[in-house]
Amino acid sequence: MRDAVEKNGIPELCNMIVAEQIEKAIVEKCATIMAVDNVFVTKIKVIKAPSYSVEELKKLHQGRAVQKASAVARPEEEAAPAEAAE
């Protein structure tokens, strides 16, 4: 895990966590000692803050628009009981 964290940047590390690559690596490394199932990354503790400039952070978030929630139309089967309850 330490190698993956040290070699990759924050965006790549986030993609690895979402893709469950770190969990799979933990299961493989522990297989020689004991069978391990259901490995999840639930918390990440920052021991040493990375040195990032403001420009680098702006580049990471550049071009991303804020997505606002929009109304979703319900199917007629779900809409009918909700109207009857009112």
- For the chain, the distance separating the N- and C-terminal CA atoms, rounded to the nearest angstrom, is 54
Instruction: Report yes or no on 64 lying in a domain.
Output: no
- Residue 12 φ/ψ, nearest 5 degrees: -65, -40
Mean per-residue pLDDT over the chain, rounded: 77
CA-angle at 56, arms to 51 and 62, nearest 5°: 150
Burial of 17 (0-12, 13-18, 19+ CB in 10 A): middle
Confidence band (pLDDT; 50, 70, 90) for 86? low
Look at residue 15 and tell me if it is in a domain. yes
2 lies in a domain? yes
pTM above 0.85, yes or no: no
Number of structural domains (the chain) is: 1
Mean pLDDT, residues 9-14 taken together: 82
Residue type present at position 18 = V
pLDDT bin (cut points 50, 70, 90) of residue 27 is very high
Q: Rounded CA gap, 12 and 54, in Å?
A: 19
**Residue range(s) defining the domain that contains residue 27:** 1-51
Task: Establish if 25 belongs to a structural domain.
Answer: yes
